[in-house]
Structure 1
Amino acid sequence: MKHIRTTICILLLAAAGACNRGGTTTAESDEAAEPQNLLYGINADDYRTESGEIGRGETLGAILGSYGVTAQAIDRLDRAAKEVFPLRNIRAGQKYTVFIHEDSLYASHLDYLAYEVSLTDYVVFGFHDDSVSIRRDTKPYTLRRTKKSATINSSLWGAIMEQELPYALAAELEDIYQWTVDFFGIQKGDNFTVIYDERFIDDTIPAGIGRIWGAKFAQSGKEYYAIPFRQNGKLQYWEADGASLRKQMLKAPLKYSRISSRFTYARKHPIYKVYRPHTGVDYAAPKGTPVHAVADGVVIFKGWGGGGGNTLKIKHPGNLMTGYLHLSGYAKGINKGTRVTQGQLIGYVGSTGASTGPHLDYRVWRNGTPIDPLKIPQEPAEPIAKENRAAFEYVRDRIMAELNGEVKDEERITQLDSLPLPAPATAEAPAKKAGEEKAGK
């Protein structure tokens, strides 16, 4: 009898252990129960999912209605979504996914609809009994540090496309070098190298680019470095000697165009057929191309300029004035007396006045005398401060080494906020010598 009781106890203990190992009662089982199939932040294993695309003229209300969501619930969602993502912003061609559960009577109920705003951003609309919810989020992505070089045959954009690089790189490089590199003077053989973070969803789907970690642009045999560094709380790009890449004036007031006529005192006018001065630069560009102020200043003229058509004139520090002629229209809020900042939208390319086609006639005066916009001496913005020089050189040396060759992962600059600066050389020398003597003994 005693042996029987002992055997029963052993069997019960073994059964209890088996239950624990089976993962039904221990903390280990709780970990195993965590969702493994997250989709838009939702455990997709709990639902039946269906995906589709917004059709032309189709509304979110119609889609929700087809899944049994009531008109009252859709109205509540419409009002609640205005501050997060207005339903009118739904666009044809964008992907959506619905999450459906079935109740005890096998009736289908839609709990969530996830709408992809872009390749990376999405909105989740939720329906919970008598309430609704809206959540805007971003898909998780990984960053891959990339270094690419390209030689230009025609234009920066052309080189980007030829090398199948992210199109956003062209816009980023133009923004960084807009004060320094003459993109209208690009010549065959000019080249660039750039280090940047590329985003990937699921490690395979390209999803744009992140930070530019450094660049080198060679134009007409001269190299222009772009070194990222944070000064006064603002991340900017600097030349190798610590001078700011930002200058007093932008190289040009618009992008994506070509120079059709240059500064001269003897140009045959295309309409009047006589030789007369053309004290400006003509940028041929499609009608509606954005035009930006090349420097901070105040609008001193807005109106009809005779042969110049719709015209803006802006006064800048240093007795400089710029003019923008033949505009098709002006940006909102631009009036005489308006203060503008460098890079601010001020108008749009047009063909008003004496013009044979859409273009911008851009002019610059100093002390009332016309000067060639392509030959303006550029004064740089504030350089690297003395107290930041050591930190800047630490970043610069590593970025330049990476641009010009290969470096180990641990030697790369991966953050710009708290830099692990080396000790001053004067403090290193004694320590090094003492270490060498100790090793010698």
Structure 2
Amino acid sequence: MSERTPNGLSIRAAELDAADDLRKLRERFLLPEGVVYLDGNSLGALSAGVPDRVADVVGREWGELLIRSWDESGWWTAPQRIGDRIAPLVGAAPGRIVVGDSTSVNLFKALVGAARLVAARGDAGRDELLVDATTFPTDGYIAASAARMTGLKVVPVEPAALPAALGPRTAVVLMNHVDYRSGRLHDLPGLTAAAHAAGALTVWDLCHSAGALPVGLDAHRVDLAVGCTYKYLNGGPGSPAYLYIAERHQAAFDSPLPGWNSHAEPFAMAPGYVPADGALRGRVGTPDILSMLALEAALDVWDGVPVEAVRAKSLALTDFFLECVEVYVPAGRVESVTPVAHAERGSQVALRAEGAAELMKELIARGVIGDFRHPDVLRFGFTPLYVGFADVERAARTLGDISGHVSG
């Protein structure tokens, strides 16, 4: 029997699941029965340990211990403690990541902080902020505001054209590690090295890569990075983001949002601001304890899980999905805009299709949850911790079943 038939693909999916060393990790999540969830690149699934942890935080730590929990329950140290748990997932040493605020707020801190680091070197000729032209819109909005504050000029640049755009006027470069629409993985090591060779600093947005593939922040000498925690890290809706500050920049990092939580003596209530040492100067105000401790519990699912194994399964899942789509979906009905090459692919597949919005509505109605991106993209995110190969085969088969029945 040919493997490239519906029956053959179904058998292969079962064989791949049986051989999957990560398959038991699905037990660490609470997923609805009968649902194939391929939208973890927007909101990760609920980790099994989170409900009880949140109930304890609310009922005991807040309800009984009250304000004592800042000390007795470790609330005060949560931003750096949880940052140290995220660190190995993005290739960072302890003490370089602080958790809190949103991705947008952290991006603002990082961009202004990077511009101030460049200015402190006395390199007055650097007046350009190069921004990934394909970036998530909010990143562009924040970059424009940061540029107005620091006297820089925003220069949109396609990622492939970045090396040629770098020059003596480049101060800071903002790039996305993985493009949120297409799933294209950009060359973090190469582009960081090119920016440094030109005398610029880098800020990387890791929202669509952290928890899906190795990043190597320290190894590749990234200057600053930000990311959310509610996608592949499964921290929950609106869970706090994080800020990475390379150790070599921490002593000079000048945050545009100094708050009492990042003061060297936060309870002294001094009128003058003196920043704390290390990445803690990335803190601002009182942390969001409920969502932060839910995130901490969610990170338990990563215990004993090497991100390299997650990457290997991610590539296998996306390869298999593309193969199944080719077999199940009528020719010409969809077109993949996600790169085939592993070195250029994140952990999602984006398919362009006429009538994409209606196709996705029907997929969701049939228990296959992905998402739609205007104007014509079906986007499927593959979280290897809980997505299996049978899920992939079912999703492609369902898409093939309905794609000839939903008009463009």
TM category, shorter = under 0.3
Which fold has the larger relative contact order, with Cα–Cα distance below 8 Å and residues 6 or more apart in sequence?
2
More helix by share: 2
Q: Give the number of the structure whose alpha-carbon radius of gyration is greater.
A: 1
TM-score, normalised via structure 2 length? 0.24
TM-score, normalised via structure 1 length? 0.23
